[in-house]
Amino acid sequence: MTCEKAMDRYLRLDKDERVPFGVTVHLIACPACRTAVRRLTKAERAVAVPFAAQSAFARVPDTAADAAFSTLVAKIASDGFAYPSSCPAERRVSLYRWLVCGFALILGFAVVPFSSIGVWTSTTFGSSFIVPFYLIFGLATAIYCGLFVGTNIDFFVKKFGLQHTAEA
């Protein structure tokens, strides 16, 4: 699916309507469209509260509505919600820090059984210490891997060439 087609389908949706699967897949694979949707959502939330409060009162005259619209457009531009032609990528945690954290996690779990805490628990609880320890190790590793892939999805899409499968 192309970016233009995906954004067109997304913009045709009503508020709180479920996003179609094809558009969701495209948004996962395309950082530009994902950023555009995120900015649209932030802009809608930023202006929803003042207009909801305004509509609760009496009908606003046309001259005041023009002033309110001008103020709204100025607020959107000043808050940085205007859609630029090329937006900088969001600041992310570097891969080096992720790898250091991962190795520290693995090293910590490798050292625990041989530390004083590990020796004490194995003498106190015997072999019943092993199963919960490795379950916790597996859970921590799965959470780490999920967070790593989830926050670096753009890297994996580019690395493995998945943007071509998302356009199909």
Number of compact structural domains in the chain:
2
Both 9 and 74 in one domain: the answer is yes
pLDDT digits (tens, 9 = 90+) for 75-124: 777 776 655 444 444 556 677 888 899 999 999 989 988 899 888 988 89
Q: Answer yes or no: is 73 within a domain.
A: yes
Q: Are residues 7 and 60 in the same domain?
A: yes
Residues 64, 113: one domain? no
- Same domain flag for 115 and 50: no
**What's the CA gap between 67 and 24, in Å, rounded?**
37
Most distant CA pair in the chain, distance:
81
Residues 104 and 59 placed together within one structural domain of the fold: no
End-to-end CA distance of the chain: 6
For residue 33, the enclosing domain spans 3-78
Same domain flag for 72 and 103: no
Give tens-digit pLDDT for 56-67. 554 555 555 567
Residue 168 maps to a domain: no
Specify whether 74 is located in the same domain as 122: no
Write out the H or E segment, with its range, that includes residue 9. helix 3-11
| 90 in any annotated domain | no
64 with 123, same domain: the answer is no
Q: Alpha-carbon distance 38 to 44, whole Å?
A: 10
Question: Taking the C-alpha atoms of 4, 10, 11 and 17 in order, what is their torsion angle to the nearest 10 degrees?
Answer: 170
Q: Which residue has the tokens 């802009």?
A: 43
Q: Helix, strand or coil for residue 31? A: helix
**Structure letter (DSSP) for residue 12:** T
pTM as predicted: 0.43
Q: Is residue 18, in this structure, part of any structural domain at all?
A: yes
Pair 54, 103 in one domain: no
Query: Is residue 164 in some structural domain?
Result: no
Clarify whether residues 7 and 72 are in a common domain.
Answer: yes
Q: Is residue 58 part of a domain?
A: yes
**Residue 167 forms part of a structural domain:** no
Instruction: Please check whether residue 143 is in contact with residue 3, taking contact to mean a CB–CB distance below 8 angstroms.
Output: no
Query: What are the two backbone dihedrals, phi and then psi, of residue 159, each rounded to the nearest 5 degrees?
Result: -65, -45
Report pLDDT for 87. 43
Q: Are residues 120 and 57 in the same domain?
A: no
pLDDT digits (tens, 9 = 90+) for 113-150: 889 988 898 889 888 888 888 899 999 999 999 888 88
The pLDDT assigned to 86 comes to: 42
Q: What was the pLDDT predicted at 104?
A: 93
